[in-house]
């Protein structure tokens, strides 16, 4: 009984996220701004990656400065039109854009 | 060396030491007699042989010499008065100093960088699709990646589900109407300041908001002091973007400084400027900063153009202008060589340019396209009809009431029959029905009023600017005798004012070219409940009152005429024409009579009150007597005034102040 290749799990996970209600965009970006996976076109993805990178760094350093034991786990930016959710990690960011509930 | 050279010693006697000259004083240094100013000239004279000129100096030491000894002159002490005792304040603490420093204004600019492509490693060419795909595939196989994504994925899922379950930012009570704003005190704050970047500062004489969106402000700069424009003053005017106060967005370059500048409400790229030399200039901002159209100088105004307004027309190219040369001209900007029409502001309707009044403000309301009004230098508002057949008929009526030039003239945007004029030290509101006088007016201020405007959102609110740099916001449904808010915007005089269409932002231009952008509080730019009705009823009431007064005056005048005519049948006695002095005497006598009767009344009352107390009475009588003599003294002085010898105010004081002192 072969264990399914690990990459399938990744695909599974991302598909599951995509199938959730009101989810518009999913992207995985590395810290250099290279989009690994994205449901949007390249330029927009790169723009998001670049903008998010600075923001995440700032938020992360804020949290650590207030309490060095603490760590940033999740970031949500709610705007009029949508909600940008970022799950940060040392090497990669998972960015999901969801339509806010009415 | 001893100081006893003999006067009259010849140069030859001087001890010449050979080559290098050591010349001493030859003449006895005389302290010359004191000059008229009391100073003494001390002269030290020495003589040098011509051949010795230019020779090196051979300095040598010598003993101190007393050249002049000026002993103290005790007579001078007579000129001083000794002060004894002398008050001197001493502070018994450490002396400290205060110093403030401000950095020079530095220019800031905001710039952004657009990151177009991610940070691909060196071996991957981002343009090559294959390479990028290969890279991505490599990353996806990385174990670290897989673990990370699994972990992040689960966190993300949790939050997504949370969002779907409940909207945590839901607005409650959205359907209810916004509660009436509580009565907050009116306030205004400065948002931005735009300074004239030129070295030689000019006044900001006119402002115009951009018709779409109001994100830009056109400011006309010129020096209105007659022939006092400094050398090298720039003629440029600017259009500022509200976001950037450091540098103007567009520069307009006319040949003569602009006095007025207006955006075309139909086409936001076109601007009309009235020049100091009387010409009219037109710009298209798409075409650059040089003038697109310029009126020919022969047919333009002979004086600076003080008012220029765009007209409502199908083509959107018509405008008209007014100037202190007494003419109002209509133009079509497609053909600026000649005005299409000229009206001369001669109120005697004889169209004489010599008797024309100089126009200093112009008014046009697009809802009343055939009428326009002109405010003149002589303090008269002329209402005109454009569509009249003959030129003489163009002038419909006049409203006089100001003592000086009318710097601003505007109809109320809600009730066009009423208009606001600003001139001399007051602002006045008029109704077209009442021609003799204004229906409402402010008190006389300490500083000259320079500009005024109605608020476009509230019918009862208007703004005025003054020469002392204050901006007043009046709200006459709230307070009639004072402005609702008075703000000191800057230290120099404010020259012009413009309210933005939403009523929230006000721009004011000052004498040194500084334009300040202010935002007023909500209360002043939102229409209050029932305000329209209140404002209109106030206007009506005041108009009615003026009409009644007018009628009364007319009656009285008729009566006077009747009386005079009646007397002509009998012997008509002429009243002697009083000279100014006699009038002054008469007025003073009347004044003092009134004062004295009042004082006497007070005396009597006071005496009645303190009758039981014995010693007081004596004092009272003394007081009364004192007043009598004082009164007598004043009366005498009054006589002196009658001869016109003394000023009124000086003598008045003792007459009134004395009684309290005597008591």
The tens digit of pLDDT for each residue in B16-32 reads 444 444 445 444 445 55
Residue B483 near residue B165 (C-beta atoms within 8 A) = no
- For residue A30, is pLDDT > 50? yes
Mean pLDDT, range A49-76, rounded to an integer: 89
User: Residue A71 and residue A87: Cα distance in Å, rounded?
Assistant: 12
Q: What is the pLDDT of residues B289-336, one digit of tens each?
A: 788 888 888 888 888 899 888 888 888 888 889 988 888 888 888 888
**Three-state SS at B206:** strand
- For residue A102, is pLDDT > 60? no
Distances (CA, A) of B19 to B54, B56, B228: 12, 9, 63
Q: Compute the radius of gyration of chain A from its Cα atoms.
A: 15
Tokens of B413: 């945007």
User: Residue B503 and residue B461: Cα distance in Å, rounded?
Assistant: 10
For residue B212, the distance in angstroms to the closest alpha carbon of chain A comes to: 25
User: Residue B30 and residue B11: Cα distance in Å, rounded?
Assistant: 18
- Bridge-based pairing of strands B505-510 and B494-499 is antiparallel
Tokens of B310: 């765009």
Q: What is the pLDDT of residue A65?
A: 92
- For residue B522, is pLDDT > 60? yes
Q: What is the pLDDT of residues B114-137, one digit of tens each?
A: 666 767 777 777 777 888 888 888
Mean pLDDT, range B513-518, rounded to an integer: 90
B652 vs B116, more confident: B116
Confidence of residue A66 (pLDDT cuts 50, 70, 90): very high
Distances (CA, A) of B103 to A42, A46, B100, B106, B107: 45, 40, 10, 8, 12
**B24 in reach of chain A (CB within 8 A):** no
Confidence of residue A5 (pLDDT cuts 50, 70, 90): low
Which of the residue ranges B98-107, B164-173, B238-247, B499-508 would you say has the lowest mean pLDDT? Answer: B164-173
Instruction: Report the percentage of chain B scoring pLDDT > 90.
Output: 8
| Residue B374 backbone phi and psi in degrees, to 5 | -125, 130
The chain-wide mean pLDDT, for chain B, equals 79
Tokens of B347: 């109120």
For residue B177, the distance in angstroms to the closest alpha carbon of chain A comes to: 20
Confidence of residue B623 (pLDDT cuts 50, 70, 90): very low
Which of the residue ranges B23-37, B167-181, B215-229, B388-402 would you say has the lowest mean pLDDT? Answer: B23-37
Its sign, for the CA torsion B602, B605, B608, B609, is negative
B227 vs B661, more confident: B227
- Residue B156 is nearest to which of A29, A47, A85, comparing CB atoms? A85
- For residue A54, is pLDDT > 90? no
| Strand-by-strand arrangement of the A92-98 sheet | A35-38, A23-30, A92-98, A83-88, A75-78
**B117 in reach of chain A (CB within 8 A):** yes
Mean pLDDT, range B629-647, rounded to an integer: 39
Q: What is the pLDDT of residue B644?
A: 38
For residue A76, the distance in angstroms to the closest alpha carbon of chain B comes to: 9
| Strand-by-strand arrangement of the B280-284 sheet | B258-263, B270-275, B280-284, B293-294
| Cβ <8 Å between A46 and B169 | no
Q: How far is CA A95 from the centre of its chain?
A: 2
Q: Which residue of A has its CA nearest to B121?
A: A32
**B575 in reach of chain A (CB within 8 A):** no
**Three-state SS at B581:** helix
- For residue B646, is pLDDT > 50? no
| Cβ <8 Å between A101 and B164 | yes
Using a CB-CB cut-off of 8 Å, the residues of chain B touching A32 are 118-121
- For residue B526, is pLDDT > 90? no
- Residue A50 is nearest to which of B115, B161, B164, comparing CB atoms? B115
Q: Which residue of A has its CA nearest to B119?
A: A32
- For residue B101, is pLDDT > 80? yes
Confidence of residue A77 (pLDDT cuts 50, 70, 90): very high
For residue A39, the distance in angstroms to the closest alpha carbon of chain B comes to: 14
Using a CB-CB cut-off of 8 Å, the residues of chain A touching B140 are 7, 10, 36-37
Q: What is the pLDDT of residues B432-487, one digit of tens each?
A: 888 888 888 888 888 889 999 999 888 889 999 999 999 999 988 888 888 888 98
> Which residue of B148, B157, B168 is the best one to mutate when testing the A interface, meaning the one whose CB has the most A CBs within 10 A?
B148
- For residue B588, is pLDDT > 60? yes
Confidence of residue B649 (pLDDT cuts 50, 70, 90): very low
Q: Which residue of A has its CA nearest to B158?
A: A17
Closest by Cα among B445, B429, B374, B439 to B406: B374
Confidence of residue B631 (pLDDT cuts 50, 70, 90): very low
Question: To 5 degrees, how large is the angle CA B389–CA B394–CA B400?
Answer: 160
CB pairs under 8 A between A and B: 105
Its sign, for the CA torsion B153, B154, B155, B160, is positive
Mean pLDDT, range B62-74, rounded to an integer: 88
**How many Cβ atoms sit within 10 Å of the Cβ of residue B476?**
21
- For residue B570, is pLDDT > 60? no
| Cβ <8 Å between A10 and B118 | no
Q: What is the pLDDT of residue B52?
A: 81
Which of the residue ranges A45-59, B321-335, B380-394 would you say has the lowest mean pLDDT? Answer: B380-394
ipTM topping 0.85: no
Q: What is the pLDDT of residue B614?
A: 46
Its sign, for the CA torsion B45, B51, B52, B54, is positive
| Cβ <8 Å between B167 and A100 | yes
Mean pLDDT, range B600-614, rounded to an integer: 78
- For residue B499, is pLDDT > 50? yes
- Residue B153 is nearest to which of A17, A33, A100, comparing CB atoms? A17
Using a CB-CB cut-off of 8 Å, the residues of chain B touching A94 are 149, 152-153, 156
| Cβ <8 Å between B160 and A10 | no
- For residue B141, is pLDDT > 70? yes
| Cβ <8 Å between B164 and A22 | yes
Q: How far is CA A73 from the centre of its chain?
A: 11
| Cβ <8 Å between B146 and A21 | no
| Strand-by-strand arrangement of the B515-520 sheet | B188-194, B515-520, B505-510, B494-499
- For residue B90, is pLDDT > 50? yes
| Cβ <8 Å between A76 and B159 | yes
Q: What is the pLDDT of residue B572?
A: 46
For the stretch B208-245, what's the b/e string if a residue is b when 16 or more beta carbons lie within 10 angstroms of its beta carbon?
bbbbeeeebbbbbbbbbeeeebeeebebbbbbbebeeb
Q: Which residue of B has its CA nearest to A22?
A: B164
Identify residues of A whose CB sits under 8 angstroms from chain B CBs.
Answer: 6-7, 9-10, 13-14, 16-17, 20-23, 28-30, 32-37, 43, 46-47, 49-50, 73-74, 76, 78, 83, 85, 87, 89, 91-92, 94, 96, 98, 100-102
Q: What is the pLDDT of residue B524?
A: 83
Closest by Cα among B622, B618, B620, B629 to B602: B620
Tokens of B442: 């402010």
- For residue B40, is pLDDT > 80? no
Mean pLDDT, range B203-229, rounded to an integer: 84
Using a CB-CB cut-off of 8 Å, the residues of chain A touching B142 are none
User: Residue B232 and residue B198: Cα distance in Å, rounded?
Assistant: 10
Using a CB-CB cut-off of 8 Å, the residues of chain B touching A98 are 160, 163
For residue A65, the distance in angstroms to the closest alpha carbon of chain B comes to: 23
For residue B426, the distance in angstroms to the closest alpha carbon of chain A comes to: 49
């Amino acid at each position: 009984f072969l264990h399914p290749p690990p990459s399938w799990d990744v695909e599974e996970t991302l598909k599951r996220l995509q199938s959730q209600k009101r989810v518009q965009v999913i992207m995985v970006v590395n810290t250099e701004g290279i989009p690994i996976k994205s449901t949007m076109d390249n330029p927009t993805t790169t723009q998001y990656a670049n903008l998010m990178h600075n923001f995440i760094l700032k938020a992360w350093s804020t949290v650590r400065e207030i309490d060095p034991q603490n760590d940033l786990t999740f970031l949500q930016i709610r705007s009029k039109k949508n909600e940008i959710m970022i799950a940060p990690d040392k090497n990669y960011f998972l960015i999901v854009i969801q339509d806010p509930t009415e | 060396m001893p100081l006893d050279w003999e006067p009259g010693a010849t140069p030859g006697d001087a001890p010449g030491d050979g080559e290098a000259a050591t010349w001493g004083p030859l003449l006895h240094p005389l302290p010359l007699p004191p000059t008229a100013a009391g100073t003494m000239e001390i002269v030290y004279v020495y003589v040098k042989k011509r051949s010795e000129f230019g020779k090196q100096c051979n300095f040598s030491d010598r003993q101190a010499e007393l050249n002049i000894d000026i002993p103290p002159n005790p007579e001078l002490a007579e000129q001083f008065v000794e002060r004894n005792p002398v008050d001197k304040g001493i502070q018994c603490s450490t002396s400290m100093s205060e110093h403030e420093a401000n950095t020079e204004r530095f220019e800031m600019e905001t710039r952004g960088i657009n990151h177009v492509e991610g940070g691909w490693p060196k071996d991957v060419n981002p343009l090559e699709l294959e390479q990028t795909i290969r890279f991505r595939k490599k990353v996806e196989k990385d174990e670290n990646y897989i673990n990370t994504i699994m972990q992040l994925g689960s966190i993300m899922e949790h939050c997504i589900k949370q969002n779907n379950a409940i909207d945590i930012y839901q607005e409650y009570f959205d359907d209810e109407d916004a509660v009436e704003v509580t009565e907050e005190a009116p306030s205004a704050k400065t948002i931005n300041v735009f300074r004239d970047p030129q070295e030689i500062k000019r006044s900001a004489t006119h402002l115009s908001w951009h018709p779409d969106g109001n994100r830009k402000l056109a400011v006309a700069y010129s020096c209105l002091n007659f022939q006092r424009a400094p050398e090298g003053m720039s003629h440029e005017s600017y259009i500022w973007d509200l976001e950037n106060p450091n540098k103007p967005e567009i520069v307009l370059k006319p040949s003569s400084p602009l006095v007025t500048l207006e955006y075309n409400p139909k086409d936001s790229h076109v601007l009309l400027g009235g020049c100091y030399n009387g010409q009219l200039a037109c710009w298209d901002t798409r075409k650059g900063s040089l003038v697109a159209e310029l009126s020919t100088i022969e047919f333009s105004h002979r004086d600076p153009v003080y008012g220029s307004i765009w007209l409502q027309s199908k083509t959107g190219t018509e405008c008209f202008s007014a100037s202190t040369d007494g003419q109002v001209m209509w133009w079509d900007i497609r053909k600026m060589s000649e005005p299409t029409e000229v009206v001369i502001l001669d109120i005697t309707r004889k169209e004489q340019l010599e008797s024309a009044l100089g126009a200093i403000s112009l008014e046009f309301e697009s809802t009343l396209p055939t009428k326009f009004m002109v405010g003149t230098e002589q303090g008269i508002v002329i209402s005109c009809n454009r569509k009249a057949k003959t030129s003489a008929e163009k002038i419909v009526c006049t409203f006089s009431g100001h003592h000086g030039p009318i710097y601003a003239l505007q109809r109320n945007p809600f009730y066009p029959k009423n208009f606001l004029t600003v001139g001399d030290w007051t602002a006045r509101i008029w109704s077209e029905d009442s021609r003799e006088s204004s229906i409402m007016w402010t008190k006389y201020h300490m500083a000259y009023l320079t500009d005024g405007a109605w608020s476009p959102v509230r019918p009862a609110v208007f703004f005025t600017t003054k020469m002392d740099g204050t901006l007043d916001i009046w709200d006459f449904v709230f307070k009639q005798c004072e402005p609702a808010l008075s703000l000191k915007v800057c230290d120099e005089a404010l020259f012009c004012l413009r309210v933005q269409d939403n009523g929230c932002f006000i721009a004011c231009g000052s004498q040194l070219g500084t334009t300040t952008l202010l935002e007023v509080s909500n209360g002043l730019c939102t229409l209050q409940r029932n305000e329209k009705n209140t404002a209109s009823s106030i206007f009506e009431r005041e108009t009615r009152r003026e009409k009644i007064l007018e009628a009364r005056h007319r009656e009285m005048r008729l009566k006077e005429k009747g009386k005079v005519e009646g007397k002509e049948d009998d012997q008509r006695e002429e009243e002697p024409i009083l000279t100014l002095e006699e009038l002054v005497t008469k007025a003073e006598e009347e004044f003092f009579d009134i004062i004295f009767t009042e004082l006497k009344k007070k005396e009597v009352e006071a005496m009645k009150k303190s009758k039981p107390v014995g010693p007081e009475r004596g004092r009272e009588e003394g007081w009364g007597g004192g007043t009598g003599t004082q009164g007598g003294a004043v009366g005498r002085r009054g006589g002196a005034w009658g001869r016109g010898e003394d000023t009124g105010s000086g003598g008045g004081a003792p007459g009134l102040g004395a009684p309290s002192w005597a008591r």
